[in-house]
Structure 1
Amino acid sequence: MGRESATDEEILEAVDRALRKHGYAKLTMQDIADESSKSKSLLHYHFDTKEDLLVAFLDDLLDSYEQRLECRSTDPPGERLMEFLARFVFAPGDEDREAFHLALLEMRSQGAFNDRIRERLVRSDRLLRTTVIDILEDGIEEGVFEPVDPERTAALLVATLDGARTRQITLGEENDSYTRTVVEELLERVIEPILTEEADLPTIEETLDDPDRQG
């Protein structure tokens, strides 16, 4: 589901802001209305329940990510892989981004009980793993990576990165970027050993400094 109107777009942007402020569990339709120019009654006109609105928000996030992947699908595989890794890195003190991912983590906890949310979680996991599989397959074909099992390697990377982000937002120390540490370890222990001699990857620092990168 893409954004179908300016009203839908404004409402979904209001969901984003409200989630960062209030988290998932305490979020109300009034909180969302307070972040937009729309009334609570108008929100209910477009979306019957808070769940309907949050499901639409998740769909929009996934649609936007797919569109971004499509736009960069012709970039070199090494650059695409580094961008993927960098998406999981955020610094301690980035409270806005941390609040957003904490709210998403709260929503993910409902996946065991809510079929609609679980469907979006399955789609998200599949999208992440497919992204890495495509990058690895393109890289092997272009001589950037040595032949590896793309599916097993993708599963390892996604599980490790997801776990690192979860740990940082729930247990992270004030001066410790655990996600950055884990990405650096993955580069050293998983990525570098499968690079061919001809491969030339941007550094994590260059990728993090890329103004086009979205977290």
Structure 2
Amino acid sequence: PSAARPAVPRGRRAATPPEGRPLQIIRETVRLIADHGFHAVRVQDIAKACETSTAAIHYHFPGRDDLLEAAARWCMDEDTARRAARIADAADAADELRQLIELQTPRTAQQRDQWSVWLDLWAEAARSTAVGRLHTEYYRQWRATVADVVRRGVAQGAFRTVDPEAAALHLTALIDGLAAQVLAGTPEGPGTRPDDMHAALLAHVDAALAAR
């Protein structure tokens, strides 16, 4: 959404960005979540992927929930950093929105993995777990960022006069729904393709936002 790091839920301190062995553990955890699902990932699986022991995993992350929450936070922070870098050189708000749409379209294996993790976190958010609350706060900030881009686009004359919050709600909902359809298929098989998703999103922006 923006260059800012997602807010930390009240009562928690911002964690130092992981590096070294903790970063390796987190990355493997994210990969395993994408492949097998949030609740199917065991500490033993992570230790095997890292070629280490479960004791070494617990040294850095005392409990499974601590590790899964750290993986979720890292995944979200990485996504935020990519968005900030992608829109840094955008010419105007309309270009920023196009860049955000491109970044949200799951074309690459990494993007598909990120979306797989994201969809799993939705289920956690519905259960109001610690990870779910983190996901909810992050999603609130993502939608607020889209609203801010729309608001600046209106001020620049690139977008027509609309309610930025409502426009962000509609666009992010469309992104989510289309991405879920893309992931339900295969990259080369039948179903919604990334190009179809991208074209539909641009068509929506043109129809609902672009100044006439």
Q: Residue in 2 aligned with 1:151?
A: 165
The RMSD of aligned alpha carbons is: 2.7
Against the structure 1 CA distance between its residues 100 and 60, is the aligned structure 2 distance closer, same or farther, given a 3 Å change threshold? closer
Against the structure 1 CA distance between its residues 83 and 135, is the aligned structure 2 distance closer, same or farther, given a 3 Å change threshold? same
- The aligned amino acid for 2:190 is N
Aligned residue pairs total: 195
TM-score (norm 2): 0.77
Which of 50, 67, 79 is the aligned partner of 1:65?
79
Alignment of 1:129-144 (within 5 A): 129-144=143-158
How many Å separate the matches in 2 of 1:134 and 1:164? 22
Q: Is the Cα–Cα contact under 8 Å of residues 2 and 63 in structure 1 kept in the other structure?
A: no
* Cα displacement (A) at 1:159: 0.8
Q: Is the Cα–Cα contact under 8 Å of residues 62 and 124 in structure 1 kept in the other structure?
A: yes
Range that drifts further, 31-40 or 123-132: 31-40
Against the structure 1 CA distance between its residues 28 and 2, is the aligned structure 2 distance closer, same or farther, given a 3 Å change threshold? same
Q: Is the Cα–Cα contact under 8 Å of residues 146 and 168 in structure 2 kept in the other structure?
A: yes
Which of 5, 10, 28 is the aligned partner of 2:42?
28
How many Å separate the matches in 2 of 1:168 and 1:84? 17
Against the structure 1 CA distance between its residues 53 and 126, is the aligned structure 2 distance closer, same or farther, given a 3 Å change threshold? same
Gaps of 5+ in 1: 198-215
Structure 1 residue 49 corresponds to structure 2 residue 51 = no
Identity %: 22
Range that drifts further, 133-142 or 169-178: 169-178
Q: Is the Cα–Cα contact under 8 Å of residues 30 and 72 in structure 2 kept in the other structure?
A: no
How many Å separate the matches in 1 of 2:66 and 2:140? 22
Q: Residue in 2 aligned with 1:116?
A: 130
Once the two structures are superposed, residues 12-56 of structure 1 have per-residue CA deviations (whole angstroms, 9 ceiling, x without a partner) of 112123223433232111211222244221111111222211111
- The aligned amino acid for 2:24 is E
Q: Residue in 1 aligned with 2:199?
A: 184
Gaps of 5+ in 2: 1-14
* Cα displacement (A) at 1:186: 3.3
Q: Residue in 1 aligned with 2:97?
A: 81
Q: Is the Cα–Cα contact under 8 Å of residues 20 and 96 in structure 1 kept in the other structure?
A: no
TM-score (norm 1): 0.76
Once the two structures are superposed, residues 108-134 of structure 1 have per-residue CA deviations (whole angstroms, 9 ceiling, x without a partner) of 212232420221221232122122112
* Cα displacement (A) at 1:63: 2.1
Once the two structures are superposed, residues 180-210 of structure 1 have per-residue CA deviations (whole angstroms, 9 ceiling, x without a partner) of 324423322443453236xxxxxxxxxxxxx
